[in-house]
Homo-oligomer: A and B are copies of this chain.
Amino acid sequence: MYPKDKIFFTLFEKLAENLEEISAAMTSMVNSTSKEKRKEWATTITRLENVGDTYTHDVFIQLSVNFITPFDREDIHYLVSSIDDVADHICGAAKRIDMYNIDSIDSPMIRLAELVEKGSNELGIALRGLRNMKNIGRIKESCIRINSIENNADDVFEMAIANLFEDEKDAIKLIKIKEIYASLEEATDKCEDAANVIESILVKHA
């Protein structure tokens, strides 16, 4: 490993930790029973999302100034963009719950937030594994789990949407809830995108 590579792994770890915090905050948010508590969590999530942005920006700067990078430049670019997208979608869900003045959190939101948190934690394991590549089996396992979490979220989402259109007769309420489901579901999609990049990094380094 070139010494300059270290900065990338350090930034991956910071991004991993930040994403784990954001997704845990999201789970806490949907499990909070008061609007005030949820508003506080939304503020926390927005703040963490801004922190994540600065790490992402740091990675782009490092990609620009370093001639040698530990993995293909475009893989690193796509990997951190995907992590940034996961955080963005979680933040989007949090802002909507607050901004749309949602009265009560329903069970698909809780279920989806839990899946986002699970996916983020597996992504964290995979990202931390990249530094020394000692346990490639464990990184692969996380990627596989992220794929199955995304499939799971897809099923929860589709069922929730079908039920929503079946039960919710207030169109404006339907729009609000649908967007929150969609933001959370897209967060798991972006976890999968990140996992796919990691898998392709592993293939190249096999």
Chain A positions within 8 Å of B, measured between CB atoms, are 60-61, 63-65, 74, 95, 99-101, 158, 161-162, 165-166, 168-169, 171-172, 174-176, 178, 196, 200, 203-204
Contacts and interface: CB of A to CB of B under 8 A. Distances in A.
Given A171-B171, A171-B172, A165 B100 contact: yes
Contact of A99 (B63, B99, B162): B162
A43 B74 CA distance: 36
Contacts of A99: 158, 161-162, 165
A169 to B, nearest CB: 7
A171 B170 CA distance: 9
A161 B65 CA distance: 40
Given A161-B99, A162-B99, A200 B60 contact: yes
A175 B174 contact: yes
Nearest to A95: B158
A203 B64 contact: yes
A171 B175 contact: yes
Contacts of A200: 60-61, 63-64
Contacts of A196: 60
A165 B176 contact: yes
A105 to B, nearest CB: 17
6 closest A-B pairs by beta carbon, nearest first, are: A171-B171, A64-B203, A99-B162, A64-B204, A64-B200, A171-B172
